[in-house]
Structure 1
Amino acid sequence: MTDQPTEILVDGVNPYPVVIGRGLRFGLASHLGSGVNKVLVVHPPTLGAAAAELRASLIGQYEVLLAEVPDAEAAKRIEVASFLWGIMGQADFTRSDAVIGFGGGSVTDLAGFVAATWLRGVRLIQVPTTLLGMVDAAVGGKTGINTTEGKNLVGAFYAPAAVVGDLDTLTSLGRNELLAGFAEVVKYGFIAGPEILDIIERDVEVATDPESPEFRRLVELSIGIKARVVGEDFTEQGLREILNYGHTLGHAIEHAERYQWRHGAAVSVGMVFAAELARLSGRLSDEVVDRHRRILESLTLPTTYPVGRWQTLLATMQRDKKARGSLLRFIVLDDLARPTVLAGPDQSLLFAAYQEIGS
């Protein structure tokens, strides 16, 4: 199924389009261009058959290799990146060749990192197949892998040639995975796009139906916000920090759970923590804090975490790449769609906010 696609431009030094529509994954040749000879398609095990179909759509114009990588965060390891570098080396990939990231956010993070580092940069097309990947990970040029010490500690800022958001790839997503992706959509609503929150509150079932116009509107609004922010601040020197709303504690929870929690679930808890932190520091009203819980819980996302885990989470946050030296930094809200940085909050304030989300 195809329709009229929507194109959103990510501006900046290396501008590129994010194209949203249906059936788009079979038209990647228009984004790869005529100068490319070899293409490496990186995909998870669950998309083996779909990756073969994608390969078939490109054969004849390119030499296409498929590379299967582990599911989820297990893909984002140096050993997996090295495996992909090995494939490219054995196939004599040059700077005129390309990588396609075909999968969720972990796959697009990994594929982007490999494309950025092979010969110091080859052409990259991101084809996210999860809601999280489509509205967040694949857009903005952040690439990376995890280490034992934390998430995304090794990586590069590297702009793709295009991001292709084929909404048809989302219709087969499991309900839990789809709803986990909505944490990032909600994030955009609180930091910059209140219309997003209104659409979800109006009818959560319609809003979360991948076939509905409301769902597509949410995807387009979310990508539009991210495109605007990263277009102004590609390497996160200022404005882009607002996209980390809920992520400082969220990443610490993911690490504590050995990445067995979905990213969106961890960020959901992180947003409620950030809201409580803002409320306790006199910035945010009870009403907006309550709205966080109400919307996230309507999406069956978690809003609490065990009280006894605080010291472990604090130690992980202090190693987070968003910290500055020993100074912890949190994105908080002064009001709806008014994000700001809270730098170096007192540990008693952090602990008090954590008590508010403790279970």
Structure 2
Amino acid sequence: MQADNQASTKHIQVGLAERSYPIYIGQQLLPQLAALLPSLPQQICIITNATVAEHYLATVQAALPAECTVIVHYLEDGEHAKSLTSYGAVMDALIDASFNRDCAILALGGGVVGDLAGFVAATYQRGVDFYQIPTTLLAQVDSSVGGKTAINHPGGKNLIGAFYQPKAVVISIDCLNTLTPRDFACGVAEVIKYGIIHDAAFFAWLEQNQASLAARAPAALVHAISRACEIKAEMVAADEREQGVRALLNLGHTFGHAIEAECYEDWRHGEAVAAGTVIAAHFMQQANELSGADYQRIEQLLQAFELPVRAPLLAESRWQQRMQRDKKVQAGQLRLVLPTRIGHAELRKVSDWPAVWAAIAALSETSQ
């Protein structure tokens, strides 16, 4: 790896036959958009929010070809913006601007912006081109890659959506300089996940390079993001619609989504996933299927980035109800992503609720 003050641009290909696309990862990539995305159409709609726009919109607009007609649609900041109301407002804007089937949607922002923009692209005029420019670490290593697009419904998160792949993903690590420490740590939780489920050597690299990554050293960022994207690209290529191996990307998410749903005002996605990952690891340790040493390494690495490793105190009935709504539940039976060792995880049907609850209870806040 190069010195920490340098980072070369990486190019990763998501292999999906005629729908394959590149992921570009590096420094100062926003001014290079026209070169990186040579097939941009004449009509472009940038979907963003005011917070992101303040930092990056002018750079993106200046980088687009002068002959393009560009409109900007602003979403409100926060998960509530992934709504039918927001979706309808974007559709109205596209129709009012007379955008045709040759237009493109450009998502400039975090996961909320990317998810909604992707669903707009999947459904406007039966599908138009879509480009991802993720500005948070969480979006860069997770939601911007793989083609999952969605909006929320009052009945649940991401219930309305489609699998729809972008034409390209441009990840400029400079965007991470404006993240709060808390938001940055939320992204690191997803980076650590990739090491646990798929790559023990990458997990060890994260342990050895905690300081550089926490300091947002460019070379460390490019390496961590690139490896995470490589793993996700491999899983997406093998299982685009999450019928098998791609489901492993949901490590910690069944527990995490329950925490998010019950404590949405206080917990963020990456924090809930971190706590959920430790619960999943503890469940396997108490079943003697994960070594105590591996459990300790998982917990300690998450703690090193100041991520929570204990769950909030919730009633057992609330946990069970929320987890039964998970999209991986089949015929009323839980299916959990569970680590058997660092570098390997399995999706398993779990019918022993008392054992699941014992793992949750052992790691709830009152047990500290």
Mark the runs of 5 or more structure 2 residues left unpaired by the alignment.
Answer: none
Structure 1 counterpart SS, 2:121: helix
After TM superposition, list the pairs within 5 Å mapping 1:111-150 onto structure 2: 111-150=117-156
Cα deviation for residue 113 of structure 1 reads 1.0
Q: CA deviation at 1:53?
A: 2.7
Tell me: CA distance 1:313–1:233, structure 2 relative to 1, closer, same or farther (3 Å): same
1:216 aligns with 2:222: yes
What is the 5 A alignment of 1:217-236?
217-236=223-242
1:291 match: 297
- Aligned pair count reads 359
Aligned equivalent of 1:51, options 45, 50, 57: 57
Counterpart-to-counterpart distance in 2, 1:309 and 1:325: 24
Q: Could you tell me whether the CA contact under 8 Å between 2:334 and 2:349 is conserved in 1?
A: yes
- Aligned residue among 16, 24, 47 for 1:12: 16
Instruction: Give the secondary-structure state (helix, strand or coil) at the position aligned to 2:315.
Output: helix
Cα distance in structure 1, aligned partners of 2:281 and 2:7: 39
Q: After superposition, what is the alpha-carbon deviation per residue over 1:259-308, rounded to whole angstroms, capped at 9, x for unaligned?
A: 54221001001101111122233321111111121111111000112333
User: How many Å apart are 1:35 and its aligned residue?
Assistant: 6.3
Q: What TM-score do the two structures reach when normalised by structure 1?
A: 0.95
Structure-2 residue corresponding to 1:202: 208
Alignment check: 8 A CA contact 2:7 2:222 kept = no
**Inter-partner Cα distance in structure 2 for 1:111 and 1:11:** 22
Q: Is 1:41–1:100's contact at 8 Å kept on the other side of the alignment?
A: yes
Instruction: Provide the residue aligned with 1:331 in structure 2.
Output: 337
Greater mean alpha carbon deviation, residues 80-89 or residues 206-215: 206-215
Conservation of the 8 A alpha-carbon contact between 1:151 and 1:251: no
1:83 corresponding residue in structure 2: 89
Task: Note if contact 2:198-2:344 (Cα within 8 Å) is conserved in structure 1.
Answer: yes
SS of residue in 1 equivalent to 2:178: coil
Alignment of 1:169-188 (within 5 A): 169-188=175-194
Give the equivalent residue in structure 1 for 2:99: 93
The residue aligned with 1:155 is: 161
**Shift in CA distance, 167/260, structure 1 to aligned 2, threshold 3 Å:** same
Matched, 1:192 2:191: no
Q: Normalised by the size of structure 2, how large is the TM-score?
A: 0.93
The question of 1:322 aligning with 2:328 is answered yes
| Partner Cα separation in structure 1 for residue 42 and residue 86 of structure 2 | 24
Q: Letter of the aligned partner of 1:29 in structure 2?
A: A
Q: 1:41 aligns with which of 35, 41, 46?
A: 46
**SS, match of residue 339 in structure 1:** strand
- The code of the aligned residue for 1:188 comes to Y
Tell whether the 8 Å contact from 1:208 to 1:215 is kept in structure 2 after alignment.
no
Alpha-carbon displacement from aligned partner over 1:192-217 (angstroms, at most 9, x marks no partner): 12233223322422122223422221
Change (3 A) 1:260 1:76: farther
Work out the percentage of aligned pairs sharing the same amino acid: 35
SS of the aligned residue for 1:171 comes to helix
Distance in 2, matches of 1:117 and 1:266, equals 31
Runs in 1 of length 4+ with deviation above 6 angstroms? none
Q: For residues 32-83 of structure 1, what are the alpha-carbon distances to aligned partners after superposition, in whole Å with 9 as ceiling and x for unaligned? A: 5456121111112212232133123225131111111122312211111111
Shift in CA distance, 279/35, structure 1 to aligned 2, threshold 3 Å? closer
Which whole-Å CA distance do the structure 2 matches of 1:123 and 1:205 have between them? 39
The correspondence for 1:71, drawn from 61, 77, 85, is 77
Partner amino acid, structure 2, of 1:278: M
Query: In structure 1, what residue type is equivalent to 2:251?
Result: Y
Aligned-partner Cα distance in 2 for 1:6–1:45: 29
State the superposition RMSD in angstroms: 1.8
Contact 2:40 2:104 in 1 (8 A): no
Q: Retained in 2: the 8 A contact 1:32–1:98?
A: no
Q: How many Å separate the matches in 2 of 1:35 and 1:169? A: 22
Task: Report the residue type matching 2:178 in the other structure.
Answer: S
In the alignment, the residues of structure 2 paired with residue 67 and residue 27 of structure 1 have an alpha-carbon distance, to the nearest angstrom, of 22
Stretches of structure 1 lacking an aligned partner (at least 5 in a row): none
